[in-house]
Amino acid sequence: MSLAFTSALLWLIPLAGAVLALYLLKMRRKDLRVPASFLWPPMTEEVRANSLFQRLKWNLLLFLQLLALTLLVLALARPQILQTGFGGKVTVIVLDASASMRATDVAPSRFEEAKRLCRDLIDTAGPGDRVSLIEAGPAPRIAFPLSSDRARMRSALAEAAATDADADIAGALRLASSLTSRLESAQILLVSDGVFPEVRDFSPGRASVRFVRVGLAGDNASIRALGITDGPGGATAYCGLECNGARAYEGTLNLFADGRLFDSRRVRIVPESRATDRNGASPNLASSSTTGETFRIPRGAKLIEARLEPPDALAADNYAAAVPDAGARVRVLLVGKGDLFLERALALDPRVTLDRAAALPDSERGARSAYDLIVFDGVRESPVQSKAVWSFGGAAGISPVELAGTPARAPSRMAVLPGHPLMAAVEFEGVFIESMQRVRPKPEGRVLVESEHGPLVVYAEGPQRRLYVAFEPLKSDFPLHVSFPIFVSNALGILVPRETVSGAICVPAGRSFSVGLAQGGAADARIRRVAAAGLDPPSTAVSPAVPSPSSPNRPLLIRGLADVGRYELSAGDLRRTVCATFQSSEESRIEPRDRAFLGGKQVSASTRTSRMGDFWRPFALVALLALLVEWRVFARRS
């Protein structure tokens, strides 16, 4: 127990002294003449008892009064004890919803245990406490804003769900910091198993940061990779297996071709010892150990799936899928200083294999190119032999435009010319552009977006398809508009024509992607989960909704699939298989961390959260009882 206002105890000295003085004061009396003193013996005794020089005698009333006074002064000093609850009047809970939180080393899962801890904290919140919950999934989401409504908090907490993908812990913490930046007595509470990379670009500001850990063990086996190569004897699948923890894994690796089992093998993976890592992993546990198996796959197989049986603490990484047709992949090289918005938009297409370079590699200056599309972002174009070229603000000889003057600043009027599928559902209204190149189109160039300073977007057909954009994305707010990922998806579909109808595709769980449909694709589209190899379909079939296309050639943009498994995309008469796979080696290492590195500071983990709660009411109650007893004793003596 501790005291919030220790200085209040000093009031005990003058107040107790005043009470004692009342028992030591000498009464003032007037001199009166009486006929005889023997008629007043009781008065003589009273004078002796009230003498200032008489020794203070035991008195129950005095004891009870001093006891009540002491207890009241202690209550004013606000005694506090450690109790379960939030550590501040304003608390933002960051709930980790990553794949590792689905581990079952804590029944029924780490995520459910984390929700229970949050629910207990909400139940202990005071009337003036304000709480907010941020669900830290692939994209952080505010489940409920700062509020004192407990019913709303419990409802939002019940709807929170974990995914089979990485969590953006850094983004969730920055979002929490923005909610508490101007508030006093604020706390950011991270409820997680600590399985995430070090968070660097984060500052809590005035708020304190606490890390509540969930999870017990780190034993887990996973399918680390599933790849398919063509050889002289046919297609071959390689399956890489990994084991983390202290115990070896023994089980069966099953391989399926188009849903039918074609090979099965017993596997045993023995982990190796290791030392403590920076994130606090225990030295008594074991490091990851990898092994691999090679399989000859049947001819004509369209989809290969692998499954480890029996499932262990984390079931999501016991499944993997791959498509044998390597021609369905599109290799893209992004040349530039680094634009995260453009990289993410390109990665929305599940066919894309993206490489990055600050300058054009020398290998691409020859007669052949290893890429289907080369994107120049703010870098001057160079002659290349790829199937398509896309340039942002770097017009050169191979562009469908030629320079027509010095760069212009901030065009105010931009018009999208209708009739081309590249600009379907793309709007430039409200887009701010800091600067753009002044150009004029070549004869083969078709202007798709025009401004008062000249063309903004120009496209040219031919043996090598070419697309030119007169500004760099990072020198505008275009990446912040909804039209930007649609524009990038449309451009990929035009520059590198999509496969259309029946090919299966594999995407990482939690990542948004786009799918092209054939001419005549229906406007009503949806995606539902179906039974996969060793995986049961969920009780609800439809998940999630897919936006309807406005034109037959417009690709469908689908938000991330939260659960690993096989899905069926339907659009009218068209069907396409989509496999969501687990692709995070970090999340497979499910050992809980003893500490986290957040914003350059080390935060030690705890298994509960507590705060100093007021404990003055019992003291005030006992003081009141003492005064009642004192009054009763005084009344009886009177």
- Across the range 143-162, mean pLDDT stands at 90
Higher-scoring residue by pLDDT: 434, 533: 434
Q: Is the pLDDT of residue 458 over 90?
A: yes
* Helices then strands, each counted (H, E), the chain: 10, 38
The distance from CA 525 to its chain's CA centroid, rounded to whole angstroms, is 29
- Across the range 141-154, mean pLDDT stands at 89
In the chain, where are the structural domains located? 2-82+616-637, 86-216+592-608, 327-495, 505-533+540-581
Please provide the CATH number assigned to the domain covering 86-216+592-608: 3.40.50.410
Alpha-carbon dihedral 588, 594, 595, 596, rounded to 10 degrees? 10
pTM of the model: 0.65
Give the model's pLDDT for residue 27.
Answer: 55
Who's near 226: CB < 8 A, 6+ residues apart? 237, 238, 239, 240, 304, 306, 320, 321, 322, 581
- Across the range 556-579, mean pLDDT stands at 81
Give the model's pLDDT for residue 277.
Answer: 47
Q: Is the pLDDT of residue 374 over 90?
A: yes
Check: CB of residue 223 under 8 Å from CB of residue 249.
no
The one-character DSSP state at 433 is B
Who's near 313: CB < 8 A, 6+ residues apart? 103, 104, 105, 217, 219, 220, 590
| CA–CA dist 218, 285 (Å, integer) | 8
| CA–CA dist 282, 591 (Å, integer) | 8
Higher-scoring residue by pLDDT: 124, 467: 467
| CA–CA dist 199, 193 (Å, integer) | 14
Give the model's pLDDT for residue 47.
Answer: 54
Give the model's pLDDT for residue 256.
Answer: 92
pLDDT, tens digit, for every residue of 473-487? 999 999 998 889 889
pLDDT, tens digit, for every residue of 491-537? 888 888 754 344 688 888 888 777 765 544 445 678 888 866 555 55
| CA–CA dist 431, 411 (Å, integer) | 9
Label residue 115 by pLDDT band (50, 70, 90): very high
| CA–CA dist 260, 307 (Å, integer) | 12
Please provide the CATH number assigned to the domain covering 327-495: 3.40.50.880
Give the model's pLDDT for residue 79.
Answer: 75
Give the model's pLDDT for residue 276.
Answer: 45
Structure token pair of residue 486: 């649609």
> What one-letter code names the amino acid at 405?
G
Give the model's pLDDT for residue 542.
Answer: 46
- CATH architecture for the domain at 505-533+540-581: Sandwich (2.60)
Q: Is the pLDDT of residue 550 over 50?
A: no
Give the model's pLDDT for residue 150.
Answer: 86
- Across the range 606-611, mean pLDDT stands at 64
Whether the link from the prior residue into 552 is cis, omega within 30° of 0, is no
| CA–CA dist 82, 201 (Å, integer) | 33
Strands (E), 473-609: 505-508, 513-515, 525-530, 542-545, 556-558, 565-571, 574-581, 595-598, 601-606
Q: What is the overall mean pLDDT for the chain?
A: 81
- Across the range 102-118, mean pLDDT stands at 92
* Strongest mean pLDDT among 172-176, 288-292, 392-396: 172-176
Strands (E), 101-170: 130-136, 141-147
Strands 272-273 and 565-571: unpaired
Give the model's pLDDT for residue 380.
Answer: 87
Check: CB of residue 208 under 8 Å from CB of residue 114.
no
- How many beta carbons lie within 10 A of that of residue 143, not counting itself? 19
Which DSSP string corresponds to 574-623?
EEEEEEEE---HHHH--PPPSEEEETTEEEEEESS-EEEEE-HHHHHHHH
Could you give the angle at the alpha carbon of 225 between the alpha carbons of 223 and 227, nearest 5°?
A: 130
Check: CB of residue 439 under 8 Å from CB of residue 404.
yes
Range with the lowest mean pLDDT among 83-97, 248-262, 273-287, 288-302? 273-287
Give the model's pLDDT for residue 230.
Answer: 72
Q: Is the pLDDT of residue 114 over 90?
A: yes
Give the model's pLDDT for residue 476.
Answer: 92
Q: What percent of the chain has pLDDT over 90?
A: 24
- Across the range 375-402, mean pLDDT stands at 88
Give the model's pLDDT for residue 53.
Answer: 46
Give yes or no on whether 86-216+592-608 and 327-495 have one common fold.
yes
Range with the lowest mean pLDDT among 105-109, 275-279, 303-307, 595-599? 275-279
pLDDT, tens digit, for every residue of 253-269? 999 998 889 999 999 98
| CA–CA dist 62, 358 (Å, integer) | 87
The distance from CA 398 to its chain's CA centroid, rounded to whole angstroms, is 43
Who's near 280: CB < 8 A, 6+ residues apart? 194, 593, 594, 595, 596, 605
Give the model's pLDDT for residue 328.
Answer: 59
Label residue 227 by pLDDT band (50, 70, 90): confident
